[in-house]
Amino acid sequence: MKTTTLRLHPVPSLSALFTGAVGRILKYGGLPFVSGSGGGRRPVIATSASAVAAVAGAAAPFTTSTPSWLKAWQMPPRPKLPEDELEEVYLKGSGPGGQKINKTNSAVQLRHIPTNIVIKCQETRSRTQNRKLAREILAAKVDLFLNGDKSRLAIVGNVKKKKADSKAKKARRKYKKLEEERAKGGVGQQQLVEGAEGAEGGEVEGEDEGEELEGYEEEEVQEGKEAEKGEKAEKRGGNNADGGRH
Amino acid sequence: MPRIKPQLFWQGRKKLGLNAAKLLPVCRTLESTANELRWIKQHVAETPSIIPFGARVWKLCDRRGKGLPLAYVLGNQPFGDLEIKCQPGVLIPRTETESYTIHLSNILRHSLSSSKSESDPDQHQPLNIIDLCTGTGCIPLLLYSQLSRSLPLQSLNIVGVDISQKAINLSRQNLHHNLHAHRFPRPSSPRDKSHPQRLLHFHKADIFSPTSLDPILSTPSSSSTSSSSSSSSSSSTGTGEWDLLTSNPPYISPSGFALSTSRSVRNWEPKLALVPPVERVDLHQKHFYDHWYYPDNEILLQTVEYQEEDVFYARLLEIARTYRPKRVLMEVGDMEQAKRVVGMVLGDGKLRGLYFGNGEVTRGGNERGAGAGAVQIWRDDLVGFEGYEEIMEVGVGVDGQKQIIVVKGHPEGHGRSVYLRRVGVVDDV
Ligand SMILES: C[S@@+](CC[C@H](N)C(=O)[O-])C[C@H]1O[C@@H](n2cnc3c(N)ncnc32)[C@H](O)[C@@H]1O
């Protein structure tokens, strides 16, 4: 069984984008921000102001339980925000601009009006590209803010966590199997274990995904270290987009 | 220019390394140093070479650190969705130019897609666009790219003109560069009659020289052997009309060049692209407009001569008078220059009639009705800030009659361009 719906390209430059400020430290690193649109499907984002206020104001906003895993093809679509909820924050360039200056000022700052989440993107030299990137990053942040555990990022995160767990489990199992084989030499035991795992659903993707994910996870480890620095992780060296609520 | 604080220097060096220490004096802030260092590294990583990575990064940082603009160091500059090749001797395209060019392509897309049904034979009528003082060719190339995508059935005839052979060579190179990177479809060859026909050409010409410019201007559709509608000149459509004339001409005064340009512009970019030569001013000295006034009938300027940095506008407006393009967009240096250019338009009876009509004064300005013509000033960063609009009242002419000008773009943005739309032409955005 090889399903490769979930594609996580490690994009080193993008991994430097930011660490999230909403909820827990987020790993935006490997998300395929650059590759294409989210397939045209609409996100599961509460957009009315009251819904936003309700979520923002609630004491325990994310009480609904999310399945701890989802199959890759059940991943929520990459979120997209409607243009009329977005506002570009005017970044006044220094100096007269035009022919008199040749600064490389490509930064774009974008605000999601209902939630007041603001992000700045100066990842690329192209303002056009930064405007696109800013929209994708902001959509992910808003999704996480509004949908918490149910957001795409959280779910992607969960799947990976699950995968890591299952990897550890596999290692343990392998060890156990060796032990058992040494002791009894039976095969049935192994099948039983596999079945149990299937029911639990630890394995969501085909094996060929493993490599890509591993690269991704390595990045995650680095980011984890950064995150230990707490607040400082918000602004990293060479980092280009800082996020946060204003 | 204030010196970099030693503290910042050491901080940068410690955080980002020796390469960054080279960049910091020109980049000024840690943030932009980090950005440029990353872009340099990305560039080196993407261009194969036998020289080791570190050595190449070091060399580029060194050049950049000496003040060479980043676009010359890396050899290109993003412009919309295009990559424009840059080389010393030709001006680097600016983000401000990119912004209004995108806005212009949106205007053209909307006005064409709303006014035309699929069966409309007008689609065979090419959209004629000419860019004077084209430099790298960035404006016509981006318009070509955007329009061929957003109006896939529309025939296009886009022309770029520059006095500099170096610029013309580079603009042609840019055409091929983006073609090979599959950023837009291949232009048709002139004899190719398949539809839509898309033409994109660059010509070397001095815009002040009628003998070299008139042949280019007088044949908007170089392939318009289709004499079907050429004689029956219906007012708004028809072969032989320019739908859009754009220009980002040299607009800095000699003193402005010495005092208010950044060092990297002054030292590395071509003066020919920035400062109108004095000879042009002498050559073109003539009575252009009468008087113009500002609110309260305050007379701002009564001379009949324009300032020397405005000489290209005088010439561009002379061209507009003769060839009556449906839309004109001229980049300017600041709000003051924008106002002067507006004054040149409104102070000239013929131009005023063409682009403003005899529009009676209506407060709230916008309600001049479809097809009323428009004289507008656009500020920086129109894209993303389309909603902003201010009304400016300008009194013009001997009688000091008030006219309404719409100023678009974020209120904090510098005045960046003057947009003219001919009476009878309708824009949707
Ligand atoms: C400010 S640059 C603009 C280049 C390009 N359009 C852009 O936006 O990046 C002005 C250009 O005008 C050209 N130029 C200067 N004098 C000219 C003239 N008399 N006729 C035609 N082009 C001229 C220069 O060579 C230069 O490329």
- Model confidence pLDDT, tens digit, residues A43-91: 323 233 333 333 333 333 333 344 444 455 566 677 889 988 998 888 8
Q: Nearest chain A Cα to B249, which residue?
A: A99
The parent domain of residue A204 ranges over 162-239
Q: Which site among B68, B83, B86, B94 would you substitute to test the A interface, given the most A Cβ atoms closer than 10 Å to its Cβ?
A: B94
DSSP A239: -
| Alpha-helical regions (H) of B208-346 | 210-218, 254-260, 263-268, 278-284, 311-323, 335-346
Task: Look at residue B426 and tell me if it is in a domain.
Answer: no
Is any atom of ligand 1 closer than 6 Å to the C-beta of B138?
A: yes
Where is the domain boundary, A108, A128, A150? A150
Cβ A27 vs Cβ A227: under 8 Å: no
Rounded Cα distance between B76 and B302, Å, is: 44
Q: What is the pLDDT of residue A231?
A: 36
Cβ B172 vs Cβ B137: under 8 Å: yes
Distance from the alpha carbon of residue B60 to the mean position of ligand 1, in angstroms: 28
Q: What is the pLDDT of residue A115?
A: 92
Clarify whether residues B101 and B238 are in a common domain.
yes
> Residue A7: which residues within 8 A CB-CB, separation 6 or more?
A32, A35, A212
Examine the pLDDT at B228 and tell me if it is beyond 60: no
Q: What is the pLDDT of residue B49?
A: 92
Distance from the alpha carbon of residue B167 to the mean position of ligand 1, in angstroms: 8
Q: What is the pLDDT of residue B3?
A: 65
Question: Would you call B396 helix, strand, or coil by DSSP?
Answer: strand
**Which tens digits make up the pLDDT trace of B55-70?**
999 999 999 999 999 9
Clarify whether residues A25 and A146 are in a common domain.
yes
Residue B31 has a CB neighbour count (10 Å cut-off) of 17
Task: Look at residue B228 and tell me if it is in a domain.
Answer: yes
Q: Which has more confidence, B232 or B376?
A: B376
**Which tens digits make up the pLDDT trace of B244-279?**
999 999 999 999 999 999 999 999 999 999 999 876
Which pairs count as long-range contacts for A221-228, CB under 8 Å and 24+ apart, including other chains? A223/A15, A223/A19, A223/A25, A223/A27, A223/A29, A224/A25, A226/A19, A227/A19, A227/A25
Clarify whether residues A80 and A191 are in a common domain.
no
* Binned average pLDDT, 10 residues per bin, chain A of 246 residues: 32 32 28 30 32 35 42 66 89 86 88 93 94 94 83 68 64 61 43 30 30 26 33 36 42
Examine the pLDDT at B109 and tell me if it is beyond 90: yes
Task: Look at residue A146 and tell me if it is in a domain.
Answer: yes
Clarify whether residues A146 and A167 are in a common domain.
no
User: Can you tell me which residue has the tokens 């412009």?
Assistant: B79
Cβ A119 vs Cβ A242: under 8 Å: yes
Binary contact (A127, B71; C-beta < 8 A) = no
Q: pLDDT confidence of B307, banded at 50, 70, 90?
A: confident
Atom 27 of ligand 1, residue of closest alpha carbon: B135
Question: Would you call B334 helix, strand, or coil by DSSP?
Answer: coil
What is the per-residue DSSP string for B144-210?
Answer: HHHHHHHSTT--EEEEEEES-HHHHHHHHHHHHHHHHTTSSPPPPPTT---SS-EEEEEEE--TT-H
Is any atom of ligand 1 closer than 6 Å to the C-beta of B12?
A: no
Q: What is the pLDDT of residue A49?
A: 34
B338 contact residues in A (CB cutoff 8 A): none
Q: How far is B173 from chain A (nearest CA, A)?
A: 20
Clarify whether residues A191 and A82 are in a common domain.
no
Average pLDDT of chain B, as a whole number? 83
Clarify whether residues B217 and B299 are in a common domain.
no
Task: Look at residue B77 and tell me if it is in a domain.
Answer: no
The mean per-residue pLDDT over the stretch B170-195 comes to 91
The mean per-residue pLDDT over the stretch B390-395 comes to 81
Find the range with the poorest average confidence among A10-24, A52-66, B29-43, B122-136. A10-24
Q: For chain A, how many structural domains are there in total?
A: 2
Clarify whether residues B153 and B210 are in a common domain.
yes
The values of phi and psi at residue A57, to 5°, are -90, -20
DSSP B309: G
Task: Look at residue A245 and tell me if it is in a domain.
Answer: no
Enter the tokens of residue B83: 């990559």
Instruction: Give the sheet arrangement for strand A86-89, strand by strand.
Output: A86-89, A108-112, A117-121, A243-245
Clarify whether residues B223 and B133 are in a common domain.
yes
Binary contact (B380, A97; C-beta < 8 A) = yes
Is any atom of ligand 1 closer than 6 Å to the C-beta of B170?
A: no
Where is the domain boundary, B246, B268, B291? B246
Q: What is the pLDDT of residue B295?
A: 42
Q: For chain B, how many structural domains are there in total?
A: 3
Clarify whether residues B49 and B106 are in a common domain.
no
Where is the domain boundary, B26, B50, B66? B66
**Sign of the CA dihedral with B377 first, then B381, B383, and B384 last:** negative
Where is the domain boundary, A150, A185, A220? A150
Clarify whether residues B353 and B225 are in a common domain.
no
Cβ A186 vs Cβ A155: under 8 Å: no
Is any atom of ligand 1 closer than 6 Å to the C-beta of B133?
A: yes
- Among B238, B239, B86, which Cα is nearest to B177's? B86
Is any atom of ligand 1 closer than 6 Å to the C-beta of B99?
A: no
Task: Look at residue B240 and tell me if it is in a domain.
Answer: yes
- The answer to whether the bond into B196 is cis (omega within 30° of 0) is yes
**Sign of the CA dihedral with A168 first, then A174, A179, and A180 last:** positive
| Alpha-helical regions (H) of chain A | 12-15, 49-57, 127-147, 152-183, 188-200, 209-228
Distance from the alpha carbon of residue A47 to the mean position of ligand 1, in angstroms: 48
Examine the pLDDT at B170 and tell me if it is beyond 90: yes
- Taking the CA of residue B166 as reference, the ligand 1 atom at the shortest distance is 25
Clarify whether residues A75 and A43 are in a common domain.
yes
Residue A76: give its domain's CATH number: 3.30.160.20
Task: Look at residue A233 and tell me if it is in a domain.
Answer: yes
Q: What is the pLDDT of residue B237?
A: 37
- Cβ pairs bridging A and B (under 8 Å): 107
Task: Look at residue A221 and tell me if it is in a domain.
Answer: yes
Examine the pLDDT at B205 and tell me if it is beyond 70: yes
Q: Nearest chain B Cα to A130, which residue?
A: B80
The parent domain of residue B194 ranges over 95-246
Find the range with the poorest average confidence among B221-225, B254-258, B274-278, B355-359. B221-225
Binary contact (A96, B414; C-beta < 8 A) = yes
Q: Nearest chain B Cα to A12, which residue?
A: B42
Clarify whether residues A116 and A181 are in a common domain.
no
> Residue A117: which residues within 8 A CB-CB, separation 6 or more?
A22, A111, A138, A141, A142, A145, A243, A244, A245, A246
Task: Look at residue B73 and tell me if it is in a domain.
Answer: no
Q: Which has more confidence, B294 or A133?
A: A133
Examine the pLDDT at B54 and tell me if it is beyond 60: yes
Q: What is the pLDDT of residue B71?
A: 97
Rounded Cα distance between B351 and B328, Å, is: 12
Examine the pLDDT at B293 and tell me if it is beyond 50: no
Binary contact (B385, A90; C-beta < 8 A) = yes
Clarify whether residues A51 and A136 are in a common domain.
yes
Q: What is the pLDDT of residue B17?
A: 82
**Sign of the CA dihedral with A198 first, then A201, A207, and A208 last:** positive
Clarify whether residues B119 and B42 are in a common domain.
no
Cβ B372 vs Cβ B360: under 8 Å: no
Clarify whether residues A215 and A181 are in a common domain.
yes
Q: How many residues does chain B have?
A: 429
Question: Containing H/E element for A120?
Answer: strand A117-121
Is any atom of ligand 1 closer than 6 Å to the C-beta of B163?
A: yes
Task: Look at residue A22 and tell me if it is in a domain.
Answer: yes
Percentage of residues in chain A with pLDDT exceeding 90? 17
Q: Which has more confidence, B299 or A200?
A: B299
Examine the pLDDT at B334 and tell me if it is beyond 80: yes
Q: Nearest chain B Cα to A14, which residue?
A: B38
Clarify whether residues B390 and B284 are in a common domain.
yes
Report ipTM (2 d.p.): 0.85
